[in-house]
A and B are shown apart, each in its own frame.
Chain A
Amino acid sequence: MNILLATSTTAMSGEGVYNYGLVIFLMMTGLYLVLAKGNMIKSVIGLNIFQVSVIMFYVSMGRVEHGTAPILLEQDLPHHDSEHGHDNHDDSEDHGLLQTRSDVALASTADGNHDADGGTDSDVHPQAHPEDTEANSPSLHTVDGRTAYSNPLPHVLMLTAIVVGVATTALALALVVRIREYYETIEEDIVDAIENRLQKEEAQS
């Protein structure tokens, strides 16, 4: 068990680094596309990539190991607890499940410091619960007997960011359409060249 915990901790720290590194790479690809003024539509796409990467960054900070989406599961709703005697699984099994989990949790505390990585691998102890009804199988997302949820706040913020992003894209594209109608091109360097020529002509007249 110690070895298992050790590897899972290393895996997490390895994940910790590559995750951010990849997001940063995506951000910078988008930023480069925008700054390297080439085709206007590509610049808009680059801006999109940049923005979506920032969104990815926020979302990844909200994630909790073994967590699930922040929508409360049936068993975590208060009315469920007060009624769990009447639900489709009986008392003894429910309590048994929780007790067995915390027994197991205590056992692993004795063995090693599982508090450090904040979660126990639930599939380490298959024999603790022979009967596992579907309505009450928190195997993937339970940590210390409670469900682990990912943090909802980054999600909320990023919903806003996505909408802001599409609004910006729509506006940028509308401007590109207007520019194209006159200059007949959407390559920034050609537009600059035309503008230089026009301004020279105007200065002479």
Chain B
Amino acid sequence: MIEWSQHLPVLQVVVPLIVAPIIVLFRNKNIAWFLATATAFFSLYTSIELLTIVQESGPIDYAIGNWERHVGIVYHIDIANAYILTIVSAVSAFVFPYSYHSIQQEIPEYKLHHFYAALVLCLTGLLGIAATGDAFNVFVFLEISSLSTYALVAMGDKPGKPPRASLAAYRYLIMGTIGGTFILLGIGFLYMMTGTLNMAELSEKLPALSDTSTVRAAFAFITVGASIKLALFPVHTWLPNIYTHAPNVVSAFLSSTATKVSYYVLLRAMYTLFGAALAAQALQLKLLIGPMALVAIFLGSFNAIKQTNIKKILAFSSVAQIGYMVLGLSMNNLDGLTGGLIHLFNHALMKGGLFMAVGCMFYRYQSVELSDLKGVGRTMPFTTFAFVLGGLGLIGVPLTAGFISKWYLVLGAFEADVWWLAILILIASLMAVMYIFKVIETAYFQEPNTDIEVSEAPLSMLVPTYALVLASVYFGIFTEPMLGAAREAAEMFLSAGGM
């Protein structure tokens, strides 16, 4: 009998990878949706299993092809990537079921099975980036997720209207490919100086080579490349248009996963690969990254307040949230990094839920402009309440998950002797209140447009939305499971660097 459980690390990525081509074979939209959703659930099951195993007995190594690490590709699952795998899988498990009605409204029927194939391919790519222990493998799966993303986003074009989604996708393609090529270049430098691509071997060999110009340049290129994918200021310009113009399902999925995985890549590079090697330079880099994070937070929040399109508000809010995550990284202490990691989790839940709620509104109103959504609080009470809950989490109200992450960021600020950061975080949270309240005001305090006959969103959309939003509240009250994992991951990164 085959012990399937010992193959879990590779199954996590291979099952979606197999399902995607199967979806292409069947022309039927229902089969496509069903297979995609089933894959998402399987992926969630696998990632939770892996997280449990890693928390009990430490990291798992899986040698693909059964070759040693200097010959072949080895998957390495530790607390950090098990955490990321779980988050990505969980988001897909909520968004894929939700997609059934949502996407049918936005793209023609004959394209649906290709859409689901691309969605599953995107999931495959993201999971593959997180699960692997080989540097070049990261690049390959990064490209899988990127290529599928470009097409998924471009599906947001409305017939007869300017193809803003395609334009946004094109601009993202250009920037994203430059970022990916920078990462490839950095990997090449590292390989050139060490002769290996395996992350564990790299982390062992690099400290001795840290004085070379090549390794330092590699660090620079990988950091810049990952920052482009992360949408960190100033290379964040691709993000707002992408989230705004993509189909709602795609906005919900991407906003909760793509940048999170890029954040993981940045952490892996900084701490595991370069950590011991470049401790001193890394410190200086963090002083550089910290200010950029701050600008991202304020620029994002300020721009969010100015917008009249709800999706644009949420998109600029994401720029700010990414700033929070990177701010935690720049503090270089346990609380700060824990805060960054737990904010990653919270943002995935909250932003996903928020975009799904907006998708419900679009489903009935065919618009996401505030001017068209007046009084939606009365015509679609459940949907709007879900949005409010998510918004509260974004602001960081106590009893939501958002509060925990802001709390840890403040703790980290005090620990790093930059207590004034705590004040800035508070001010930024107030700005979040402003842009969330803008939506609430339109939803509840304005008269609805009585021309259109509008009812609540279908259950298949409402239930996953609530599930995600309520999860955000749940983990705000019962913090320990994910908080424990985040803290462990932060500890691992800061101590030995991992591997």
Contact = CB atoms under 8 A, between A and B. Distances in A.
Contacts of B65: none
Contacts of A176: 170
Given A175-B170, A179-B167, A195-B162, A57 B181 contact: no
Interface stretch (B53-61, B84-92, B146-154, B419-427): B146-154
Contacts of A51: 177, 181
B143 interface: yes
Central interface residue in A51, A167, A179, A198, by most chain B CB within 10 Å: A179
A172 B140 contact: no
Nearest to A58: B188
B173 A179 contact: no
A149 to B, nearest CB: 15
A191 B162 CA distance: 10
Contacts of B177: 47, 51, 168
Contacts of B139: 164
B188 A34 contact: no
Interface in A33-59: 34, 40, 43, 47, 50-51, 54, 57-58
Interface in B126-149: 136, 139-140, 143, 147
A57 B173 contact: no
Contacts of A98: none
B184 interface: yes
Contacts of B184: 54, 161
A157 interface: yes
B173 A178 contact: no
A102 to B, nearest CB: 27
A175 B140 contact: no
A160 interface: yes
Interface residues of B, number: 27
Nearest to B308: A203
Interface in A167-198: 167-168, 171-172, 175-176, 178-179, 181-183, 191, 194-195, 198
B400 interface: no
B166 interface: yes
A178 B143 contact: no
A6 interface: no
A171 B157 contact: no
Contacts of A179: 163, 166-167, 170
A61 interface: yes
Given A157-B136, A179-B167, A179-B170, A171 B188 contact: no
A54 B140 contact: no
Interface in B88-147: 136, 139-140, 143, 147
A5 interface: no
Contact of A50 (B147, B169, B178): B178
B192 interface: yes
A172 B188 contact: no
Contacts of B151: 171
Contacts of A40: 170
Contacts of A164: 139-140, 143
A64 interface: no
Interface string A129-173: 000000000000000000000000110010011001001100110
Given A31-B178, A47-B178, A195-B164, 15 more contacts: A47-B174, A50-B178, A51-B181, A153-B191, A164-B139, A164-B143, A168-B143, A168-B173, A168-B177, A171-B173, A172-B170, A175-B166, A175-B169, A175-B170, A179-B167
